[in-house]
Each structure stands twice: as structure tokens, then as C-alpha cells.
Structure 1
Amino acid sequence: MLSRYAKIRTLSTIVSVVLSGVSGSVYASGFQLFEENGAGVGNFDAGGAAEAADASTAWYNPAGLVMLDHQQLVLAADAIDAGIEFSGNVQNYVLFNTPTGQVPLSGSNQYGTTEGGGISVIPSFHYALPIGDKVVAALSLVVPFGLESNYPQDSVLRYSATDSRIADIDLTPSIGVKITNKFSVGAGLDFQHIAATFDQVVGLGNVGPIAGLPEDTDTLSENDASDWALGWHAGVLYQFTPATRVGLAYHSKTTFDLDGTSEFKGPLASVATGGASDEIKSNNATTEFTLPATTSLSIYHDVNARWAVMGTINYTDWSVFNNIPLQNVAAAEQATAAELFSGSPPFVPTTTLDANVPQNFHNTWRIATGVNYRMTDYWMWRLGFGIDQDPTSDEDRNVRLPDGDRYDVAVGAHYQATKTLGFDAGWTHLFIADGVVNSGQTVGQQFTYVNGTTDNTANIYGLQLTWNI
């Protein structure tokens, strides 16, 4: 038996390990993640706000914490293996300033296929501590939102996007309180740190030689920003009978004002600085956006000693995510007539460029159903199915998040190795509809129009350790 000091020291070590792995970003549906444990991967998180099987209920519905009668630690990791294949046409235009306005000159017109995506790991940590008979406190570390797409810097999509990342890390203390033997409530705070990356290539293409510049003017624009914000979540749980319970949970929206750096590196930067440097840097880059609120309604029912059924309906208010404004971006802009007359190169450096990336997401529903089968005292199997709506639209869908409606199937297992130690493994396969991309984007004096389709694939693999301390 571990001493109390040894338990605290072990817990501190585990938290440090989880924190060290949280820095990675992820790619997911509409970039909202419900994979906040490993066990739920086995049934598509069906019943998440009502099952309250372990300490991860602190995030899904903190009212479910009262179902735990001992200290418990949950440590999980979910791997998302996501693939994106784009096929289509990309037209890149250079917008030259004239006395009567901007004139678009065709820089390139390319048709091709390219791939993005990759494997990302989502860690999660939950610790629950009963305080008396009616109160349970908890601490969780989760990643509720994440996005990652990566296209090569020489791909057909380079003028629209290369690397895109959003990682939202949520450190959340919570508490559950038993009001009666059937009814409980819970709430928690969400201390969220978000980091975002939006990179792409800027180039003149065929216009370069006309302007007396090198044929290859492709220049990398790297933009990184981060911020902290505070949100909250709350829930209720009602137990109709010892076998049937219903949970309702709400996670608030969170608004971020991000700041960071913008770097413009390559031939155009060298031209703009007169050869003094191949880099233009802004230390005042900013952006802002709001992550949506989500409401979850779940039911859990034990049919008998071996079988249980469960389901969840999630509603996400994605309508708050309608635009990503990029401000104080480093770039090279066309020199004015006065600057050219004084001997300036055709482009000059700037660190005050503003750009907008329309999103115009719409609200979505997610439905998950599942079943558990307890084969023996040691083994339990899970099965789940689900439907997850795509928040993007054909008018504004872009290659940074080329999502589509999805249908999901999941399978998993739990093994109770000892009285205090259990292991879970799960797999979810996502059948994702092809995404149509038909949108344009203006950044400074570059306008890029993308027309094509994306073929998206994804598998999620979950592992979890549950320790009854």
C-alpha cells in the first residue's frame, strides 16, 4: 500500500508527464474533440454525460462525480490518424495597385493532387477525490478543440495553406455535489490556453519575370499566436432507478484574443529589404475568435447484469466561429510611385498587413449510441455508432479545414487487471463525406481561388489506465 506522501508524489509525476505531451496539436471533426478519455473511443463517447464510469466524468458532466466513492486517477492517450487528399484547380493572382484600383494579374493556374494530415496524439488526465459522502472534487487536463493540416510547401495548395494548427489545452478543476439520493449537480472552471499557426506561401508566379524579379519568388509566411481565456462547464444528473440515469451538461463558449509573431521569409523579403535580409518579422501579430458552447444530453441504462445501453445528443453553437482576422502580418507590399521614384525596389517591407479568413460555420448536431457487454468480471466489450454533422459550408469551406459529414463506428474493451487497476482500449473509424472546396482568399496583394474536392479519412485509437487509489 502506498503512503499518502508517495501517492501525492506519484500523482505529481504523472501530471508532469501529461503536461509534457500536451504541446502537440490535433486534427478533428470541425476541430471539436470529444475524445477526453480512452474508454469512450470504444463507443463513440455514447452516454458521456450520464454513464459516469470513471473520473473523466469531471469533464463530460461533473455532476456524475458523485458516482465515485474513492480516489481515482485516469490517464489516457488517443491517437488520431487523419488523412486529407485534395484534387482540383488552384488559381493564384497578383493584385497590382494602379491609380484606378487593383488589377489582378494571373500568377499561376495549377491543377493537381496533394495530401495532408498525419498522426496526432491527444493526452488526457483526470483525478477525482471524494470529500465526505456528498461531495467529490476533481482536476482534469484535456484538449477539447484541435486542428492540424499540413501540405507541402511546393504543393498545388501552397498559396492557400501549408501548416495549420489550433490546439486548445484545458486545465479544469470541478466539483460534484449530491443533492438527494437521485439528483446531483456539478460545475467546473476551464482555464484554457490556445495556440494557433496559420502558414502559407506567397509568390508572384508568372508575374515575377515581368516585374524584373526572379522566376521563383515563393516566400513563406509563418504566423503563430497564443492566448489564455476562462470558461466554465456545469451539469446535472438524475437517477430514475439504480439502473437508469440521465445527464445534461453545458460547456460555455470561450473568446480568445491571440497575439504572437508573423515572419515573411524568402525571395520577396530579400527584394523588399534591398537584399539586406531575407526575413521580415512582426512581433505584434494578432487574431481573435470564439470557440463554441456545447450542450450534451445523455442516457444510460443497465438492461441486466451483463448488458447496458446508452446514447448522447450534442448540440454545438458553431455560429460564433465566422471569421479569423489576421492583423499586423509581416509581408512585402507594392511600392508607391513616390517610393519607386526615390529608388525603392518594387516591393517594400510591411508589418501592418491585415487579412480575413471567412469561416461562417453553422450549428451542428452529433448523435451517438452505444452498448456495453460485460462478458466476465474481468472483461467488458463496447460497441458504438454515431453521426456527426459538418459545420462548414460549400461557400466558405477552405483547405485548412476541409471537413464533411461523417458516420462513425466504434469498438472497444475494458480489462480489470486487479481490484484497483483497469485498462481500456478503443477504436473509432470515421466515414467522412467528400468536401467541396470552392472559395477565394485575399492576403495582401495575393488572391488565391481554390476549386476542388477533398477525400478525408480518419481512425482514432484510444488507450486508458484507470487507477483506484
Structure 2
Amino acid sequence: MVKSYRHSLLLPLAALTIGWSHSGSAGGLMVWEIGTPTLGTAGAGWAAMPEDASTAYTNPAGTVWRDNTELMAAGQLLYGHLEFNDDGASNVPGNDGGNAIEWFPGGGFFAAGRFTDRIGWGFAMAGNFGGVLDYDGDWKGRRFVTETSLIGMSLLPSLSWKASDCLSIGLGLNVMGAYYKYESRPRAGLAGGDARLKYDDRDIGYGGNLGVIYKPTAATTLGFSYTSQVDWEFRDDLRLDGFGPLFTRLVERLDGARTGFDMNAPQTLTISLQQHLTGSTTMYANVNWQEWSEFGLIGFEIDNPNQTSATINREYDDSWHGALGLRHQYRTGALAGWALSAGIAYDSSIEDLGSRTADVVVDKQWRLGLGGQKELCPGLRLDLGYTLVWMGDVPIDQQGAPPFSPRLQGSYDDYSLNFFGASLQFEL
């Protein structure tokens, strides 16, 4: 959907060589894993767990259900496996790119409490959007990307109101900062060799979170959470170097040109259930929708005398998620005092083979979560969790524009993400 289109050489170079993003999770680039107790249920129960301070992030309506002020500090480490395997049709010489994810830290801080019996408050600081890919500089896909980052971090102050003994409503402000970086190695000219293209910027966007908690019985908690779209406008000077004489005029136009990308974090809807099956066993469930089709529409503009601009359609699909988990409290035996949890989840993919690119590698995902919870002493609780995200073999066939028409064809075999997390909750 082109708004204006001038100088046909400018737009294809920028549109086909500048990308964005990450290893991806939750069907797209938004992960369920932030180091909190939901690691142990594969995200199940996300919006229906008002029993700790992390509800300030997952559902602001839950904060008014806290009897005391609670603080939670959570940390996690991600280790991924993302290595390209060439099927023989790639036409740029090089290696397989190495493991493009490896270790990446995450986590957050959460606080929740009440002003009165009817008014609660919350504050959360966490990031569950984006990530980093870092390929070897001389890999076969370097014409498309060598390094890319899109990292979102949210600050979420919120208020909640208990409308009745079984219903609460919460509203939060999402102040979401984002950092975006992209590098690639386009072909330098007719003689071959690598040039360099680089771009990076930061921006802050704003959105809202709406939550509802409904407890029809003492054993049942239903949660509804909506997060609005957050828009970013990245603006930075495009840096080009190492191009041969064939591109002299093009580089003169683009090098140092103010270049903008308009992106967004998509809106989401989550419905969750927490159901006490017995006095010791609790079941959790989720259904979720995320609007990645809007995220795939990227506004692009080069601020030069020609005013080249467009909306680039990455042809992404909205994603759907379902999750189911259990937690069991042990009261006797060797595990007395521990609550152990497990969960399984499925996320549909936002892209297929026709829309998959080396800067955003995602597919349908299965999640398996395991966790343990123990009260160390009155007012101090420890949670440990692990989630495996499995995508298996993910094919790719990305082709670039003439005159050189680079191609990356093959698959990312045994693609997986491993999240290791822990949190401590203090009650004041």
C-alpha cells in the first residue's frame, strides 16, 4: 500500500534491506515469560492469578485483592537454539550464521497493594516484547541481516476498583520504551564483496491496559485482560559504507538521510481461568488473541528532497494461543511446603514460508512449563520456573531484489527457546 513512490531505486534498497526484530515467541515477538510464577504453568492462568504482585502486569484488576502491600523481584535467562541449515539453493557464499540467539537476560519488578478496601494500586516494570538476533558477519544470509534488535520495556502504573465482593476492574497506563537496531551486509557492487548498512534508534510509546477479575465462587476466578496497541516512530540517519562505484549516486542520496520506521506492539485479548479442583490442586487455563496483522504494516519514510515514503506490508497473520496448567500443594512428605506446577500451551504462527525472513524467524510453538513454589518464611515466597518453547524445523526461502537477487533457502532445524527464571515476593 504505497502512499507515494518516487525514484524506484531508493525504495527497493531500503525496503528489502532494512528489517526488524527477534527470535520471537507467543506466535510473534511477544513472550509469556517474564520470570514470574507463570513460567511454571507455560503462561496458563496469566490474567486470573491475583494472588501475587505480578498481577500488576498481567491483569491490573487483581491488585485490589491483595490484603497487604506486596513486592516481587523476578529474573530470568533465555537460551535459544537458532541455526540455519542450507538446503543448497542459497546463492551467497558463507557459513551457517552460528547460533543467533544464545543467552539473553529478562525479568521485572512488580508491586501491588490497596489504598482502601475498594481501591487498589499497582506498578510493574518488565519487558515481554522483542529480542535480539546476532548472526555471524559472513553468513549466507548477510545480504538480508547480520544483527537486529527490537526490545520493548514497559512501565505500568495502575489502579483497580472492587465493584462488588466478586468483581473488580483495573486500568493501567503502559509507557513502553523501545530500542531498535538493524545491520546488514549488502553486496558492494559487480565485483562482489560486502558493503555495510546500519540503523538504530529509540522511542517511547503509550498505551492502556484494561482488566477484569470475576469470582463467581470461592473456587473459581475468571480474568479478562486487554492491552492496546503501542506505536513507535523510529527516526535516525541511515549509514552506508563500502559500496562500489555502481551505487555511487544511490549512496549519495541515502547515506546520512533521515530515515523513519513506524512500528507498533499489537493489541491483545486474554481470557484466563483459575479453578481450585481440591484444597491442594488448582487448574489454570488461557485463551489469547494478538493482532500481528497490524504489526506487519510498517510505515517507511526517507526524509530527503524526494520524500520517498511507503507502507510495507509483511503479510503477517493474527495469532491465537491456548494454555492449560496445574499446580499441586504438598502438605506432607519430602515435598511438604512446596507447590509444584506444570503446563502446556500452543501458539499459532504469525508468518508462513512466503512471509518468513531472516530478521524475524517465528513459527507455531509448543510450550512446556515446570515450576516450584515455597514460602521460605512468613511474608517471603520463592518461585522457580522453566519453560521450553519448541518450534522444530522452520523453513525459509527469502529472495532479494535485482540486480543481484540474493537468496537464502533452507531451514532452522530444532529451533527452541529455554527460559530459566526465579522470583522472590516480599509482603510488607
Q: TM-score range by the shorter chain?
A: 0.7 to 0.9
- 1:197 counterpart (178, 181, 190): 181
2:277 pairs with 1:303: yes
- 1:41 counterpart (23, 39, 42): 39
Q: Equivalents in 1 of 2:343, 2:422: separation in Å?
A: 16
- 1:136 counterpart (117, 120, 123): 120
Corresponding residue of 2:329:
374
Which amino acid in the other structure matches residue 136 of structure 1? G
Note the 1:398-413 alignment, pairs <5 A. 398-413=357-372
Which amino acid in the other structure matches residue 368 of structure 2? V
Corresponding residue of 1:117:
101
Corresponding residue of 2:256:
282
Note the 1:241-280 alignment, pairs <5 A. 241-266=217-242, 268=244, 272=248
Identity of matched residues, %:
21
Q: Equivalents in 2 of 1:203, 1:220: separation in Å?
A: 8
Corresponding residue of 1:362:
317
Deviations 1:135-194 (A, max 9, x none): 111111111311321111111111111101101111110111101001111110101111
Corresponding residue of 2:350:
391
Query: Which protein has the larger Cα radius of gyration, Structure 1 or Structure 2?
Result: 1
Which amino acid in the other structure matches residue 187 of structure 2? G
Corresponding residue of 2:289:
315
Gaps of 5+ in 2: 1-20
The alpha-carbon distance between structure 1 residues 271 and 302, as it changes in their structure 2 partners (threshold 3 A), is closer
Task: Decide whether the 8 Å contact of 1:46 with 1:311 is kept in 2.
Answer: yes
Task: Decide whether the 8 Å contact of 1:225 with 1:261 is kept in 2.
Answer: no
The alpha-carbon distance between structure 1 residues 458 and 125, as it changes in their structure 2 partners (threshold 3 A), is same
Query: Partner of 2:377: helix, strand, or coil?
Result: coil
Task: Decide whether the 8 Å contact of 1:396 with 1:438 is kept in 2.
Answer: no
Task: Decide whether the 8 Å contact of 1:255 with 1:289 is kept in 2.
Answer: yes
Task: Decide whether the 8 Å contact of 2:389 with 2:416 is kept in 1.
Answer: yes
Corresponding residue of 2:267:
293
Q: Equivalents in 2 of 1:28, 1:424: separation in Å?
A: 25
- 2:379 counterpart (420, 424, 428): 420
Which amino acid in the other structure matches residue 315 of structure 2? N
Task: Decide whether the 8 Å contact of 2:154 with 2:177 is kept in 1.
Answer: yes
Task: Decide whether the 8 Å contact of 1:42 with 1:462 is kept in 2.
Answer: no
Gaps of 5+ in 1: 1-24, 93-107, 209-214, 274-279, 331-349
Q: Equivalents in 2 of 1:136, 1:190: separation in Å?
A: 17
- 2:24 counterpart (25, 28, 38): 28
Structure having greater relative contact order (Cα 8 Å, sep ≥ 6) = 2
Corresponding residue of 1:63:
61
Q: Equivalents in 2 of 1:204, 1:258: separation in Å?
A: 26
Higher-strand-fraction structure: 1
Which amino acid in the other structure matches residue 364 of structure 1? S
Corresponding residue of 1:155:
139
Compute the RMSD of aligned alpha carbons: 2.8
The alpha-carbon distance between structure 1 residues 397 and 329, as it changes in their structure 2 partners (threshold 3 A), is farther
**Alpha-carbon distance, 1:322 to partner:** 2.0
Deviations 1:363-415 (A, max 9, x none): 11111111011113731111111111111121110011221111111101012
Q: Equivalents in 1 of 2:309, 2:97: separation in Å?
A: 28
The alpha-carbon distance between structure 1 residues 329 and 158, as it changes in their structure 2 partners (threshold 3 A), is farther
Aligned residues: 398
The alpha-carbon distance between structure 1 residues 229 and 188, as it changes in their structure 2 partners (threshold 3 A), is same
The alpha-carbon distance between structure 1 residues 138 and 268, as it changes in their structure 2 partners (threshold 3 A), is farther
